[in-house]
Chains A and B, each alone.
Chain A
């Protein structure tokens, strides 16, 4: 067997292992929870292991393998079925499998604590989600990506509705499905346009075809590109879609992490990377428009995070703001280096969302203002959450910092530069807000003082270690080490200086603000902001704030 056959075999094994695990789960359903957990975890780890092996093999050989097979409905639509295996897809696969495997460990450890969910069903869905995500990452044709992303949307809907608590959460699951369905339909429309102009949705053939087209076809190709960009914007949680993805999200930690990290960061960014050549064919004005949209989305998502009270919403919005900035970098001609940023961002996002949602779970409250306490277990999680927020926002010399300076270096005019500076400041402020509330909040946690389960400690510990290790790399250095990532993000000295300055200004502002009764001030500002947006929200908030105030008062009374 030659090398490419072995790699293909490993790849398909990595793809099929979670499905096999799911099948085993269905067969052994209801017999033993521990057995189900072991099956699921083994399947995920096998997938992770095989993906890692493939990445190493590809890294050594530098192959790009294409597996083409005729699609069943060839007579009607001539849809190609292409699996592309290269370093981008295999390394993304490794990261996705890694996160998935660790979430399985997490699930196993919290299994005893939350029995209300049908765990076998839940494990199966997560394994299918894992497998389908890998299938998306291997897709070489647009229509194939549509197939698999639609499946992901359906599984996401099933995952959300599997944890149905009330009518509101059912509605929320439906809304999440609808927003994803809208994005998928746009991708289908783009596929239909490409089928019409190029006769195929295969990326390589499409590009060749478009490059040699006359004016009308070129016009159609612009339409299809815009539809793909819309798909990416919806999936990647650009403002205002981030509100839809996070609105009233009260699912469990694995679902939220899967949804956001894999479904809404890894996959849209992957589509952006592979459709980049099509995007480069856009006229200058569209290019500029999309840059502005990316930056505005970053600003508004960061602002949304700054103004939010719920921990998971803050974490989610910070991730979405980072994704928008990353999209900007991929969109400019630096995508090889930005892939390294993407891998780090995925790990960081997983860490941030997991820790934020685990805090919510521990505190029995989603509110940021009720976080804090003297228990060392909670302090540990809080520390992880705060530090990952700071890394993702841009604390030097970690990955967010390099990403921000790279984004600044891609700016072509003063407007985008200023807007990007605003986004960075707000994002950093939001991160410091998260950290400072933890630091300055002196409440006793009366609810929890028991140890964090071993699975959570392991997962957060390993994920945290790897993330910190990855984050500490300087991008050009990472480029040199990894070889193929050429490290084109050569942020100039001025960009780095500006970025550092912005971070320190934000830090100073946050410190001065929170040092002296920052929490009360923040609540006032929070109420004021919500007053601008609508009276209904204000009344809702007032009740929430009054409840949280009464809880604090109660705790203080108990202390005295």
Chain B
């Protein structure tokens, strides 16, 4: 029931919000926040209930119901899914305080549906349900302007449908039609993994689809560049774009491990080139939003590179923790950027905001520091674990790439912050207000999560260890 509750809670919230008159903006925001808080409590409970002592891999929470005929409703979570759900709920709770004035009733409804969708992606064990949930996760895009909407819907739908079609083909080639388990992910992984030739044939297409939904450049542009209309930015970029990485880790790697063994070096080479181009191009950018976008793209590309290696237990844990940390960091960075954009004239603000918004400045600097793999924050732990295990796998070039990535990311992010806060402000901005206490608190929560989990990572480790061990079975 817990998983269904997590899934249904935002949908109930959407229903309640749609019943409230649109003029009452404050109440809308409060209801949104209350539902986000309830989701956070459930997600925390789910995460803390994951046990490390379990000897064999199995979904620790699962719900299976036959609806009619061959259609079934199947949800399940292990440590990795629970952590992704927790990250999404923390981000959605914290962002709910930042949207009070910006959101209309329609926006609130769509954002709540989007949240339900993303929780669904992280716990669906039925392929059809996964596809539906993924499409729901992008529902906030419906409130965008027309060209943006088209781009997002086209990109996401094509990607998800191609994954679904390919998985469907895999299963049915040479197999007898089995109504009960056609779309059951657990069945696909444990019982009926695709044959070697089919894997080799289909893998290029499937990885292309993963590239699209993981928001890797240039496909990431479709999803994130056109969602540039204030509010939907932080959630879509931080949480929804991580769903692609989640699908790669949890579904594609177990299903296509033999194909990955063959294609991995090519994919690593291609992504490394993309990564280097992006990193070099980020040196030339002085726009804060573009720099953050590039950080998001490069991080996703880096994680895909890491996942293409023979995945060991620690590497899997490092990757998942890195996803968790980046989700929070991206939410923080983009929230700050959105606030600056909203409160100032964006183009003029680049000429200098020093000392005008001290609280926001501190938050942005702390968020930037937490993204630089500096000890004390969670990103350091994941970076070092990945660094060590990449070396253990013998990929010295990727090891060097990680070092370059770390330095150039620091260079570009700090460069932007210096541009923004290093100059003295122009006269017209002297009236702008700093962020409110509630906004500061909501940003602070995310920073504290990063900091506390960076100092005490044992909870994360304990909940992830079982699912990481399971993934390492598919090490090629």
Query: Which residues from chain A sit less than 8 Å from chain B, CB to CB?
Result: 72-73, 75-77, 146-147, 150-151, 154, 164, 166-167, 170-171, 174, 177-178, 181-182, 185-186, 188-189, 191-193, 195-196
Contacts and interface: CB of A to CB of B under 8 A. Distances in A.
B169 interface: no
Given A73-B381, A192-B384, A154 B374 contact: yes
B374 A182 contact: no
Most buried by A among B384, B424, B461: B384
B384 A150 contact: no
B410 interface: yes
B458 interface: yes
A348 to B, nearest CB: 33
Given A76-B461, A189-B399, 18 more contacts: A72-B456, A73-B381, A75-B462, A76-B385, A150-B375, A164-B354, A170-B422, A174-B415, A178-B407, A178-B410, A185-B406, A185-B407, A188-B373, A188-B387, A192-B387, A192-B388, A192-B391, A196-B391
B318 to A, nearest CB: 8
Contacts of B373: 188
Contacts of A75: 457-458, 461-462
Closest 3 pairs between A and B when the two form their complex, measured CB to CB: A170-B422, A192-B387, A192-B388
Interface in B37-65: none
B363 interface: no
Nearest to A158: B365
B350 interface: no
Contacts of A72: 455-458
B281 interface: no
A171 B314 CA distance: 38
Given A174-B414, A178-B411, A182-B407, A164 B422 contact: yes
Most buried by A among B314, B352, B399, B414: B414
Contacts of A77: 381, 384-385, 388
B418 interface: yes
A166 B424 CA distance: 8
B392 A196 contact: yes
A193 B422 contact: no
Most buried by A among B352, B410, B418, B462: B418
A76 B422 contact: no
**Chain B interface: which size bin?**
35 or more
Contacts of B381: 73, 76-77
Contact of B407 (A146, A167, A181, A192): A181
B274 interface: no
Contacts of B369: 154
B384 A188 contact: yes
B278 interface: no
Interface string B362-406: 000000010011110000010011011001100000010001001
Contacts of B372: 181
B457 A76 contact: yes
Contact of B418 (A171, A186, A192): A171
B358 to A, nearest CB: 12
Contacts of A76: 314, 317-318, 381, 385, 457, 461
Interface string B435-469: 00000000000000000000111100110000000
Contacts of A189: 387, 399, 403
Nearest to B415: A174
A401 to B, nearest CB: 40
A546 to B, nearest CB: 28
Contacts of B354: 164
Contacts of B418: 167, 170-171, 174
B137 to A, nearest CB: 30
Contacts of B196: none
Interface in B68-127: none
B229 interface: no
A196 B461 contact: no
B463 to A, nearest CB: 12
Nearest to B317: A76
A188 B369 CA distance: 17
A171 B422 contact: yes
